[in-house]
Structure 1
């Protein structure tokens, strides 16, 4: 049945190919007609004059211009607008450049100022470390410390003076090492007796040294080493040299043989030494720096040393007359007081002056002066750095937060010294620089640029107005000529007398008018040809339409035959698939049986291997029992030898007992002289008794061991008999397992043969399926071909319909074209 269907399909396809050939011939005729029309078009193209300014098709740029509505804006406004935009963009670029330059200058200023702060801080640290080393040398001196201890131990003034005369040359020698930095060295014993190194005498002190400011501070601290910040000393001879204020280092004095302090060393740093050390430090961009302590106190202000030792809170506020809060509180008057009237450190002193509410409201912050807000920021940064690196004893940083003083932004850097040789210091160098000082030059340049830019904008607007007026005048003339051409008058003359692009546009406009004359003449000829072609196309389309309808009927017949053939192939597929599933089930069952047999065979072989291993282990046990039997015999012989030893011990015990009896008899004869010998004899007798008891005990234990050995020997003999029976059972088990393995081999061979037969059936099934698939593919290809042919015919029908419509439109357009062209004067 399938062979007959294939024959019918082949006949239908042959008819379809003949019809396609007929349609192709008609298509060739149509191409010849189109060729005649193209010849007319080529003649028109030859007559066309070359245009040096060709018109471009619409592209992405033109679309962009349309979206931006630029084509609706006048040219003059466009030029002015572009000029303004250019000026604005240049201004933005210049502004950005100036801002970037300002930021770079600020960053450079931060780095340079921080570097200067670090260098200055390191210089201060080096000086303080040298002073600390000097203090350590004095307090541990092998001559000074013992002499101070002797002063503590005597009440004789002559002896104290004698020991002081020994100490003083050493203090003077140490003082000479740093005479430019130190005011003096003061060494005081625990009894209050003092020796000075440098200028002055201790006798000038009119009260107990232990009541002085420094002594009380040191005693209250409870440490062995202490730095005391800038203060006015209550010891008069310390204020004679180097300024009104000073800085002190306090250290306890120890001897090599005593852990208790024998005295106190006070080293005073001259105020003018700090001034010399810091006078050459110049902060970039007219900035200021201050050395402050942990109690918010001013340690040193290079700009005004009268601020030294006072609270920053009292120094950072002034009234309209420029007087600081410290001056209003009369704290600066302490500088002129006598030494006996100064009782505390300056930042702790309160002389009882109070300010009224009006005065407090009249205070304002000093320009470019450190205040508590700056100190708080510095302390926060110090704590953050200390949390990250707890080992750091000196470090610097930059305050990145915005800080303003009297409305002016400030750049703040700092460098802190936490300790000197394990002695806490907590000094911080803080610099303050107004940002306007850094960016002053850039701001002046920016103002000059803005002025020049404004002048340029005015000049640019004037020139843009002149340029746009000139352009608009030339374009206006061209627009008038275009209006004449729009009305149909092609006899125009466009001589603008210009040499710019508008002049070139006028020349090209004249060329366009000439080309337009020739073009309209060619269009008249082409319209006549178009009418004739439309008629020819219409007739050809009618003929092709009838042929295509006949061919479509043949295709419908072919589709019916192929659909019936496809149904038969689908039925065969169902039958073959059912057969395939049954064969697959049989194959799977045989695979399962084969796996079971293989597993049983493997288990039998494993059991045989296990029994063989069991036999080998039994042989090993047998050998072990034989060796154990030999060891039991050896143990029996050793027990007999030990019995001989116990007999010997019993003999020795009897002899020893007799010897003790004889010794006792001889001791009795000797009387008093033989008492000690009698004691020895009794001890020997006790030893003999103990030896006899031990020999009896060992003998009883040996008898028990002998009995245990006999029982063990009997157990070994019984085990040997059991193992012999086990060997016989193992041999029978191995023979039975060999029989099972042979039987399994026969079953496995039979299953393998059956599996081969089933596999041949499976191969035949696969071949049938492949044949059916090929047949099915062939049918599907035929269906696709017919569908393609049908689609092509549908396209041909649509094309013919479209051609009919176009031929009618072409005829109508030709009539309209002729009417339109007649308005032109050529």
Structure 2
């Protein structure tokens, strides 16, 4: 009996140690892996988002620079085209060209050499103060570019005779003569250099401008690279990669070497603007955030491990006490004091064990007293054999009943053990399903948070569209005001034309009065009259065009106002959607908290169910041993009945004692 008790005690101690060790072995690695995974995910997401934001800012910056260059080129080209039309409308002779070019010299700082005109017979006309020179007019770059254009347009960059890199806006001058004339104006790259080098929004970012016709660099922060040609074999990895992308017409934003690079085509030209920023500048804040996340993760792991150790010890300690008490009971020690102060399932278990110990104490005390009586009666067994015979029969019947009762007890205990095992399995399955539900809920939380951020971005985009529409309306209104001023000027030109016509008529009359001496003056007066009539007709045509422009401006303003109303309505709907996403996100967060609490409760139920199953199995084994013992006792009682035939008359007191023992045994309820 002592050996069995030692084996049972050793098994309980090993089991207690095994449960705590398994909990720590399973929970702590999972916590560490989870925290590390979350830190890595957060760092990865931060890196990707910072890179996306940097590219968006870089693309926005380069788009703004491209628009500025385009606007500057368009502004100058409009001026050049206006001067060209003015000269064409005057139909000047070659002798008058220099004077006309002098009248336009110095009005455009972006074209310091002014306008110049070249002819197919090699003549060059320029302003008197201009230092423009060209040794071979018909073979020059600007002449070849302009001879194929009616309207003025920009060509490729080239180096003029003064060694300056310039861009020429050229076109055919239709002055009514038989000689083909090319009018041009050179634009220096100084203004473009300023836009390219100072228009970058991002700190530590730079840009350069490339002409795709010959891959020549038109503007660069390093002045030594201006005028050089890009090559894929360049030792500079950035320049070589940019050249490859331009040659392959792949102008998407990408990473080249140690730089993040964005490309933008300048509308109306064959130029490509390249903007770049070192990758380590973008990822500097990401590295700092990764360090912070790593420190926070390490602290979180330490705190969680400490908390797990505390919880495990708190949960396992009462079970250890109960296991030690059961081991003492198995060794026959019922002087133990069971702690049942806990208010959970473990406390209920301790209370029941304590009740069992008290019952066993009382029963053993009475059995001891009855044993003393049996000892006294055994001394008189020879004299009361007949009484013993009757008592042995009663004892046999009682032991048979005890055997049946113990058999039922064993069956019930086995059922309890099976049910406890099933409960433990069901709880384990429920815990697994709860873990899956918790993971799904976390994914839902992340998705709803991403949807909320996307809706906020859409709201910001709609606000930007609304502001752009308002600026468009303001610009259209300014155009309308400008058209009013042009109308006034055109009216004044008409009045001047009428006055000029009257003056020419008076001059013709005076020339007629002068006779032969006034004929030459009469021819001049006639030409002035024709010019006045042409000016009046042109002024009327311009006035009609301006009226049409006013009408179109009115329609554009109406459409823009309708668009503004639609944008405001969409913005209101988006704000409502953002509020709805906030409410959904909060509800999902609360549901996620409830699921996590439910998982903790299921874990506790799983621990209790496992312990109950183990205890029930031990009790089932004990019940089987009691049943076997009871069967042996029944067999022995039958033998006693057969052998006590000759002492039946002396066993009356022994029967009473047996009845008392039976009454104590029947106190156990199943």
TM-score, normalising length from structure 1? Answer: 0.39
TM-score (norm 2): 0.47
Larger of the two Rg values belongs to structure: 1
